[in-house]
A and B are shown apart, each in its own frame.
Chain A
Amino acid sequence: MTGHAHALETSTGLDSRKLAIWTFIGSECMFFATLISNYLVQKGKSLVGPFAHEPWTDPATGQVMEPIIEIPLVTVGTALLLFSSLFIVLALYGAQKGNRKMLVGWLGATLFCGIFFVGMQVYEFTHFAHKGLTLSRNMFGASFYVLTGFHGTHVTIGVIWLLTMFVLALRGKLTPAKAVNLEIAALYWHFVDVVWIVIFPVVYLIR
């Protein structure tokens, strides 16, 4: 994705690559819609616990399994992901204005939030597995891990993408003329955040 010396003439006046990422994002809406509708349709179909919000007693052993969802941790992650959207917008502003300090600083902050979010998810997954929730345990486990796992994968890809942009920015390659490249990366990043805005209440809050 190299830059241009002069602008392309397109039928709409819009950058083809920006149109392409929006098109891809539109397609990804259907991807996550299918995953989310799977989660909603499978809700309540678990034959055994542990469950999301209620405790469950194993009728065979009498063992009590605590509810899985822990609000405080995921809320911190959610807030950080939201702030990362703010930070990347500021980074883009810096890129467009040629302010390298602003660009690098805020892009670094974005990365920090993104990496923290992925870390939180990894911790959450291992913690939930400890509490007895696995992919094969019940429908909640299967739906939860697949939905949030694929979202997490998208975040990870975003982190790798932003890391690449960060290295380019450090080396002074992200000039105002090339800022559209960061804009495209940012659109992907915002989309990943927007999907989480839907997943957070649907998975963690709705009972």
Chain B
Amino acid sequence: MSAHVPAEDHAHPTPGTYAKIGLVLFVLTALEVGLYEVTFGASAGEFGRQIQPFFIPLLLLLSAVKFALVAMFYMHLKNDSKLFSGVFVFPLIIAAIIIVALILLQAYHWAFARSG
């Protein structure tokens, strides 16, 4: 079972594709900021108040898409060995679990401490 280093024998995005991704990233960032302005900005109005409960999920969704685009295309995970994806994604899962766990523990601790 010998192996050899492949000379980039996987599909390779072109500079044009990279540029398009860059544009999408820029637009997504603009959407993030726009969402903020619409919800909390100086000129925010009734619509802003209505979407306030959705603000955080929408924002996190936009960030997640940006994250995935950079990881898959710029960091090449889409076209590279799945081992690299595994080495990156597994710690992300542990990290997410810990962040969520700490937030829950914190919220519960405060609530529990208050109710005695």
Contacts and interface: CB of A to CB of B under 8 A. Distances in A.
| A–B contact (CB under 8 angstroms) | yes
Interface of A: 7-15, 18-19, 22-23, 25-27, 29-30, 32-34, 36-37, 40-41, 53, 71, 75, 78-79, 82-83, 85-86, 88-90, 93, 96, 186-187, 190-191, 193-194, 197-198, 200-201, 205-207
B70 A190 contact: yes
15 contacts: A15-B5, A29-B92, A33-B94, A33-B95, A37-B103, A75-B29, A82-B70, A83-B22, A85-B25, A88-B74, A89-B73, A93-B18, A197-B66, A201-B59, A201-B60
A191 to B, nearest CB: 8
A30 B95 contact: yes
B4 A9 contact: yes
B18 A75 contact: no
A198 B67 contact: yes
Contacts of A200: 32, 63
Contact of B29 (A12, A19, A33, A78): A78
Contact of A86 (B71, B74, B96, B98): B74
Interface string B24-49: 01100100110111001000000000
B29 A40 contact: no
B5 A10 contact: yes
Nearest to B90: A26
A71 to B, nearest CB: 6
Contact of B22 (A15, A30, A78, A82): A82
Contacts of B59: 201, 205-206
B56 A8 contact: no
B33 to A, nearest CB: 5
B62 to A, nearest CB: 8
